[in-house]
Amino acid sequence: MQYREVESAGEYLARLETGADWRGEIETLAREENVEAGWFNAMGAVQDAEVWFYDHETTEYRSVTFDEELEVAACVGNVARLEGDIFAHTHAILSRESGQALAGHLNGGTVFAGEVYLRAFEKPLVREFDDTTELDLWLWVGIGFQPEHSR
1 part of a folded domain: no
Cα–Cα distance, 70 to 46 (Å, whole number): 5
Give the CATH number, domain containing residue 116. 3.30.1330.80
pLDDT at 93 over 50: yes
pLDDT at 113 over 90: yes
140 part of a folded domain: yes
22 part of a folded domain: yes
CB 34 within 8 A of CB 28: no
Cα–Cα distance, 70 to 114 (Å, whole number): 12
54 part of a folded domain: yes
149 part of a folded domain: no
101 part of a folded domain: yes
The four Cα atoms 56, 57, 61, 67 give a dihedral, to 10 degrees, of: -100
98 part of a folded domain: yes
pLDDT in tens, 124-145: 777 677 777 776 666 654 444 4
Q: Who has greater pLDDT, 85 or 93?
A: 93
Domain count, the chain: 1
pLDDT at 73 over 80: yes
Residue-number span of the structural domain to which 96 is assigned: 8-144
50 part of a folded domain: yes
Question: Burial of 124 by CB count in 10 Å (0-12 exposed, 13-18 middle, 19+ buried)?
Answer: middle
